[in-house]
Amino acid sequence: MNKKNSKNMDRPELYGMVYEPTYSGATTFLRRTASRDLNGVDLVITGIPLDTATTNRPGARFGPRAVRLASTIMAWEKPYGLDFNPVDRLAMVDYGDCHFDFGKPEAAVNEMIDHISSIIDQGPGVLTIGGDHFVSYPVLKAYAKKYKEPISLIHFDAHTDTWEAGEGQDPEEENGRIDHGTMFYHAVKEGIVDPKNSVQIGIRTENPDTMGFNILDAPWVHKNGIEQVIQKTLEIVGNKPVYMTFDIDCLDPSFAPGTGTPVCGGLTSHQAMSIIRGLSGINLIGMDVVEVAPAYDVGEITALAAAHIAMEMVSIYASKPEFK
Ligand SMILES: [Mn+2]
């Protein structure tokens, strides 16, 4: 067998960089080994290719594949400016995608919860690649079940996703429906997420009821700058177990056009990456990057931004005391 590419198919070592041509080979996230053996694994990458909860443009079901592909260019060098390489500290595997039957949409939520639980209950954390933002809801349910307490969120987004009824829905007709703009309303109501110790960053759409979340909206970020965002966020989450969720539409459409509900006035990729890197030291238990919809992308820049954001998350996960 030619060992010069597709090393992620049969490479026994879970640590270290993988050198092979970016344009060739089987694509896993960051060229990590494709495996469902969780023995000795610290962090699992998995995709949830579901996009049936979108209010506008669908297509995020192709997000996991696009982000994995974009990440191949980052597999052979350390993130710039870091004094360590996360792949030397973390044993990571690409677990493949969550399976659900698109002919049984009502079963998908439990399939997603079971998928995540089956990983985290064995020990490793998970980096999930969406999918529309609804997928964070079953992921958080799995996390809340494991940790037996409400989870703190660091939530990057143009939208609060705490609408009661959802975009375009008559607010008088709330009927328990959950979509990618209402799931954090339900997550708070169900006690899965603790809004007091959570923060939403980059918001730039109106929502009269913010459900008690701390909000550093996009104008605040632009006015006060990266360092202030880091400081405020660290104060809010403290030592709590924290889950980080990044809707790629937090970035301005000039950096991330390939998404379902873009809003102008957002963060630059520099701002987002610097904020995440500055949060090193938090008690990060899991994370996701969602809403990459490659059909609306231009030059793959959205998928590339998502891959870089994911890499920054992996880096702060690798900064946890147990991996140093
Ligand atoms: Mn959003």
pLDDT at 178: 81
**Domain interval for residue 230:** 7-323
Q: What's the 249 CA to ligand 1 centre distance in angstroms?
A: 5
* Structural domain includes residue 1: no
pLDDT at 166: 65
* Structural domain includes residue 67: yes
pLDDT tens, 108-156? Answer: 999 999 999 999 999 999 999 999 999 999 999 999 999 999 999 999 9
* Structural domain includes residue 140: yes
Q: What's the 257 CA to ligand 1 centre distance in angstroms?
A: 12
pLDDT at 11: 86
pLDDT tens, 213-238? Answer: 999 999 999 999 999 999 999 999 99
What value does the mean pLDDT take over residues 24-35? 94
Q: What's the 33 CA to ligand 1 centre distance in angstroms?
A: 31
pLDDT tens, 156-213? Answer: 999 999 988 766 667 666 666 788 888 899 899 999 999 999 999 999 999 888 999 9
The number of domains in the chain is: 1
* 3-class SS letters over the chain: CCCCCCHHHCCCCCCCCCCCCCCCCCCCHHHCEECCCCCCCCEEEEEECCCCCCCCCCCHHHHHHHHHHHHHHHCCCCCCCCCCCHHHHCCEEEEEECCCCCCCHHHHHHHHHHHHHHHHCCCCEEEEEECCHHHHHHHHHHHHHHHCCCEEEEEECCCCCCCCCCCCCCHHHCCCCCCCCCHHHHHHHCCCECHHHCEEECCCCCCCCCCCCEEECHHHHHHHCHHHHHHHHHHHHCCCCEEEEEEHHHECCCCCCCECCCCCCCECHHHHHHHHHHCCCCCEEEEEEECECHHHCCCCHHHHHHHHHHHHHHHHHCCCHHHC
Q: What's the 163 CA to ligand 1 centre distance in angstroms?
A: 12
> Of all residues in the chain, what percent carry a pLDDT higher than 90?
81
pLDDT tens, 77-102? Answer: 999 999 999 999 999 999 999 999 98
What value does the mean pLDDT take over residues 36-56? 95
Residue-averaged pLDDT of the chain:
94
User: Per-residue pLDDT for 55 more than 90?
Assistant: no
* Structural domain includes residue 253: yes
* Structural domain includes residue 245: yes
pLDDT at 171: 63
pLDDT at 173: 64
> Of all residues in the chain, what percent carry a pLDDT higher than 70?
96
Place of tokens 């980052």: 74
Contact in structure between 47 and 280 (CB atoms under 8 Å)? no
Q: What's the 132 CA to ligand 1 centre distance in angstroms?
A: 9
Residues with CB under 5 A from ligand 1 (ion): 157-159, 247, 249
Q: What's the 205 CA to ligand 1 centre distance in angstroms?
A: 9
User: Per-residue pLDDT for 1 more than 60?
Assistant: no
Q: What's the 155 CA to ligand 1 centre distance in angstroms?
A: 10
Q: What's the 201 CA to ligand 1 centre distance in angstroms?
A: 11
Instruction: State if pTM tops 0.85.
Output: yes
* Structural domain includes residue 267: yes
Q: What's the 302 CA to ligand 1 centre distance in angstroms?
A: 14
Contact in structure between 204 and 222 (CB atoms under 8 Å)? no
pLDDT at 81: 97
pLDDT at 95: 98
* Structural domain includes residue 129: yes
User: Per-residue pLDDT for 29 more than 90?
Assistant: yes
* CATH number, position 295: 3.40.800.10
What value does the mean pLDDT take over residues 270-275? 98
* Structural domain includes residue 2: no
